Amino acid sequence: MTTEPQPLLRIDELSTATVWPTSAVVAPGGDIAVAGVSLAELAERYGTPAYVLDEGEVRSRARAWRAALPQADVVYAAKAFLCRAVVDWVEQEGLGLDVCSAGELELAATRGFPPEHIVLHGNAKSPEDLRAALRLGVGRIVIDSDNEIARLAAQVAGPDPQQVMVRVVPGVAAGAHHKVRTGVAGQKFGMSIADGDALDAVGRILGQHRLRLVGLHCHLGSQITRAEPFAEAVRRVVAFMALIRERFGVTLPELDMGGGFAVAYLPGDPAPAPSVYGRLITETLAEACAAHDLPVPRLTVEPGRSIMAPAGIALYRVLSVKHTGGRAFVAVDGGMSDNPRPALYGARYTVRRVGRASDAPMRTATVVGRHCEAGDVLAESVELPDDIRAGDVLAVPAAGAYQVSMASGYNMTGRPPVVAVSEGRSRLLVRRESFDDLRMRDVGL
């Protein structure tokens, strides 16, 4: 007997999104199917740990951003997760790409991503980063510090100046954790508007004929659950644009407001839709420009997590269940090497067993990894069936961003594969890192 698949999620009017991709349905036998593919079967076929990416979800989120800001440039922040297939999806959906290293840039170049739609930023760009950016002809380089100005200008060889932006710090505190807040002074990114550093840098860039200053760049932080901090930042940055015009007689045509748009990790977490952020940012920009009698600059936003996180699911197999100190620990075959976020930011996740149904009551457990650290926790205090046992498969949603891209080689367990699912089929995008891969880099004795 087959049961009709039931949608797992509904995004309600207030857009407190649930945590599963839109395509996810409850399948028979306690399973979940994503894009028509059973998660339990994927665990069987590709092994665990494995990361599953719903291609349709990535594409529809990219489209939602474009629809939210039809007059703006939407550039995907590659650091959330990048592989060649994602480069293609991003290009096909009409987005640009935000990169922060020669590595991300070279990967995009292997697919012929149009370099003029690439933005390179970074607080400390290496000579290789700058060389690759200039050789490939990236559209914008975001200058992050004073000493970068002359260094970059000296490297521009062609007849045309390199288009640059200045990363400014507006003094707006926002973001899920102090480690991802970049809108205030006292951290390593950008130049402060308040202390005059940003204005000095603008003057210096304007004096370099090999650089063309096209606008300002600002990134407040990450996992910002309200639109208002973006509006406040827009007001401050536009006021600064007015100051630049007053001081240097230059009207900057572009403004990049960075990324930082939140997603739901736990059901009910606040995660405003792209249209909510988009509306407030555009309205505030128009108002602020009118107030300063400035033309409205071309806007860019750089969502990373918002496009990628909800499309990903991590799959693990349970290796052991231990009851100790009044707590239940469910240990799986992955951990902080594929998801360092709980250890780094205290991030919380929800977990679901897939592929085996039972009538067992739910019980609070902590899902831990297999690494040699007590802090190797994947999901603190989650509800799992009481009969959970070794061999069961666990699925962790909202796993598409900053997990595989931040995966490490800790304990030489090898980084997990990434599998795309789309229209009832799966395909391997990134294969599992094998012992041979690790061994091959070990070249000396």
- Positions in the binding site for ligand LLP (CB under 6 A): 77, 79-80, 98, 121, 180, 219, 222-223, 258-261, 302-306, 341, 345, 402
Closest to ligand LLP by CB, 385 or 400? 400
Half-sphere exposure of 320 (CA within 13 A, CB side): 6
**Cβ closer to ligand LLP: 27 or 97?**
97
Question: How large is the angle between the packed helices 127-136 and 147-155, nearest 10 degrees?
Answer: 50
To ligand LLP, the closest distance from the beta carbon of 370 in angstroms equals 21
Phi-psi region of 424 (alpha: psi -120 to 50; beta: other; left: phi over 0): left
Nearer to ligand LLP, 117 or 341 (CB): 341
CB-wise, 56 or 310, nearer to ligand LLP?
Answer: 310
End-to-end alpha-carbon separation of the chain, Å?
A: 61
How far is residue 430 CA from its own chain's centroid? 18
Binning the chain into helix, strand and coil, the percentages to the nearest 5 are 35, 25, 40
Least separation in angstroms between residue 431's CB and ligand LLP is 24
Query: Considering beta carbons, is residue 294 or 309 the nearer one to ligand LLP?
Result: 309
Name the minimum Å distance from CB 89 to ligand LLP.
16
Q: Output DSSP code: residue 47.
A: -
Q: Torsion over CA of 48, 49, 54 and 57, rounded to 10 degrees?
A: 150
* Smallest gap from residue 133 Cβ to ligand LLP (A): 15
Contact 319, 413 (CB under 8 A): no
Q: Which residues contact 305 (CB under 8 A, 6 or more apart)?
A: 77, 80, 222, 223, 259, 261, 262, 263, 401, 402
Query: SS3 string of 162-192?
Result: EEEEEEEECCCCCCCCHHHECCCCCCCCCEE
Could you tell me the smallest distance in angstroms from the CB atom of residue 401 to ligand LLP? 6
Please identify which of the residues 83, 100, 289, 372 carries the catalytic annotation.
372
Least Å distance, CB 79 to ligand LLP, is 6
Residue 372 a catalytic site member: yes
CA distances (Å), origin 192, targets 203, 300, 301:
14, 20, 20
Q: Is 303 helix (H, G, I), strand (E, B) or coil?
A: coil
Count CA within 13 A, CB hemisphere, residue 243. 15
The interaxial angle of helices 102-110 and 127-136, nearest 10 deg, is 30
Measured CA to CA, the distance from residue 68 to residue 74 in angstroms comes to 10
Contact 50, 417 (CB under 8 A): yes
CB nearer ligand LLP, residue 69 or residue 365: 69
Amino acid in position 249: G
Which residue, 132 or 180, has its beta carbon nearer to ligand LLP? 180
Shortest separation between residue 104's beta carbon and ligand LLP, angstroms: 12
- Residues that are catalytic: 372
